[in-house]
Chain A
């Protein structure tokens, strides 16, 4: 089979054989490339393509396991229902708001933590270790722990407030405070992930650049703005893509902290999908909601990728 291998073409020995077998065995470089990629492509089609197609197909069905009637094609009925559903709009708005607040929040805190962990002092391992703890903690645990922290009677947050002579707050009695508590928790939980990625990026910046800047008499702020930040940009964009997509899929923390309450004021899109599919067994409507979330995630990723391409063109 060496005749079909492209490297063989470079050797003169293979030439007469190639002439003889070329039409039958040598598939050409493009075809060969496709053949080599095929296993990966098939794997992707099976594990990603099929579920996505199935999801889109189900979103057009009237498929509720509690109705007792078999699935039937319903056209855009599920999407029509979504437009008229106030809880969907609430969930979509909450999801976007969580992304808008917690992604920049986690970026700023994560950047600060990474800079701290990158400082050239001897005892920086406690800073690095403390970065790993929130990252390694399961999301639902973080939600549960912070639900206790913010509990109106036995929570540590109100305890601290009362020690300073302030009155305790019933955090989960107010939509805004409950939302703020959730965002704080998400920022706490996710900033260490941002910090870990940014720390890796920081360590690729050559020290010689800073030494040269020192010679030129640049201060800390100038060094940060002119060296650190521009060289970190690709790392930051990658971290932002990951964080934004997980922010759009926020489920565990609000689920454990408020269960979507008070009322439905802190429900997220992922929670609403879970509720419709797992609790209400309305697989058609749940799939339609998931399609919207999928489109939202794809749009955001495309936007980021465009940003990277744009910045590369400028450079």
Chain B
């Protein structure tokens, strides 16, 4: 084989390999495994049908929000261009934007979305990501048991403790717990701390500065420890993660449970012991305080390292649009980020409880918005875990949170 022939062959093989790719853009979307990738796939199929030049692949990784963030941190700090569109927990856009990993949407107006999501995706006046779906923490309760003992859904944590004790005493079921919530050192434990802390009208960060109230923190930690000491929650609550709470409630072993919106659809699904027996309401307040809940939800960001910026932004706009939001509400029970959809007849037919969820999502509060959120979260969740395990007192815990947050948010 002479050299010229070899060169021709090489050129031909290069053309064969790169040919199809140049005619079609391949996009890769990073999705959370718990965020119903099968339903998102259907929405992506529609996008592909309307945009014949673009193919979209899904990448999954990490079982929890923390592990997903670790994975994305590794990919993005390596400036890896392989991911184009990323789903991000509502607490992450600020950190990702500060690191320069997101490509902003300069022309985008977020007014059509629920206000907390418009705020969570705007960093230093720039729109850095678009809302995917909403979420908030709710109080799930056993409607059948509350009816049996003639107890209305509790408005305060104190009422909840009394109701839980009355029902567990009356049922004589050793497996029945009064209340399940997240005590393991995971993201959910940050909300565990914040619910009663916020309920006292306090915040952690105000105008970018630490606004920590030690007494309110002691009260918040003491509330949860009190539930353990009184037997309202089980002694091993420090081992309980978000989905453990969901499974315990779904098995019929819990009267009250603190959990996110995703749990509802599963409680009504196959193999659930509580189908038709579940009530959902706003989370209680401390006596004399205001009812507060933790804002959740997920956002679509476009990687700053994506080699297909225009196509990736087009896809993010599509996934965040009202049409996809409605499709995901009906088919995946994911709470929409457009207020109008909560009263849409097709949506309420598929998920009747969405009408009650709107005021909860509207009033939900965002966790501290700071690029150093991961550190703030770690301080709070490990302390909540230590207090619930009994290795630190609520007063020690509050002091630890204060001194460690001072170093992070100075």
Contact = CB atoms under 8 A, between A and B. Distances in A.
B391 A152 contact: no
Contact of A65 (B70, B99, B184, B239): B99
A264 B73 CA distance: 22
A28 interface: no
Contacts of B378: 275, 279-280
B386 A66 contact: no
A68 B371 CA distance: 9
B100 A261 contact: no
Contact of A263 (B66, B236, B371, B389): B389
Contact of B235 (A151, A170, A264, A279): A170
Interface residues of B, number: 29
A260 interface: yes
Interface in A68-85: 68
A67 interface: yes
Nearest to A87: B404
Contacts of A265: 386, 391
A60 interface: no
A175 B391 CA distance: 7
B173 interface: no
B386 A281 contact: no
Contacts of A68: 98-100, 371
B304 to A, nearest CB: 13
B287 to A, nearest CB: 29
Interface in B355-410: 371-372, 374-375, 378, 382-383, 385-386, 389-392
Given A66-B371, A264-B382, A278-B73, A172 B239 contact: yes
Contact of A279 (B73, B185, B371, B391): B73
B70 A151 contact: no
A130 interface: no
Interface in A239-289: 259-265, 275, 278-281
Interface string A15-31: 00000000000000000
Interface in A194-242: none
B73 A261 contact: no
A266 B98 CA distance: 31
Contact of A280 (B236, B372, B383, B386): B372
Nearest to A279: B374
B70 A279 contact: yes
B69 interface: yes
Interface in B217-254: 235-236, 238-239
B374 A260 contact: no
Interface residues of A, number: 24
A174 interface: yes
A173 interface: yes
A261 B378 CA distance: 11
Interface in B71-119: 73-74, 77, 95, 98-100
Given A66-B98, A173-B238, A278-B73, A262 B66 contact: no
A263 B385 contact: yes
B392 to A, nearest CB: 6
B371 A67 contact: yes
A172 B77 CA distance: 34
Given A66-B371, A281-B99, A173 B77 contact: no
A280 B372 CA distance: 7
Given A263-B386, A265-B386, A170 B372 contact: no
B367 to A, nearest CB: 15
Nearest to B94: A66
Given A66-B95, A174-B389, A281 B382 contact: no
Contact of A261 (B95, B185, B236): B185
Given A279-B69, A281-B77, A260 B382 contact: yes
Contact of B389 (A172, A260, A278, A279): A172
Contacts of B239: 151-152, 170, 172-173
A262 B391 contact: yes
Given A65-B99, A262-B391, A279-B374, A172 B238 contact: yes
Interface string A153-176: 100000000000000001011110
A23 B51 CA distance: 74
Given A68-B371, A264-B382, A278-B73, A152 B99 contact: no
B70 A173 contact: no
Contacts of B385: 261-263
A280 B379 CA distance: 12
Contacts of B386: 261-265
B70 A67 contact: no
Contacts of B235: 170, 173
Interface in B154-198: 184-185
Contact of B99 (A66, A151, A153, A172): A66
A173 B185 contact: no
Contacts of B390: 173-174, 262
B74 A278 contact: yes
A173 B375 contact: no
A66 B372 contact: yes
A281 B73 CA distance: 8
B389 A280 contact: no
Interface hub of A66, A67, A275, A280 (most chain B Cβ within 10 A): A66
Contacts of B74: 278
A263 B382 contact: yes
Contacts of B392: 263
Contacts of B375: 280
Contacts of B382: 260-261, 263-264
Nearest to A274: B70
Contacts of A279: 66, 69-70, 73, 374, 378
16 contacts: A66-B95, A66-B98, A66-B371, A67-B371, A151-B239, A173-B238, A260-B185, A260-B382, A261-B389, A263-B392, A264-B382, A278-B74, A279-B73, A280-B374, A281-B73, A281-B99
Given A66-B374, A259-B185, A281-B73, 5 more contacts: A68-B100, A170-B236, A261-B238, A262-B391, A279-B66
Which 8 A-B residue pairings sit nearest by Cβ, starting from the closest? Answer: A263-B386, A262-B389, A68-B98, A173-B389, A66-B371, A152-B236, A65-B99, A170-B236
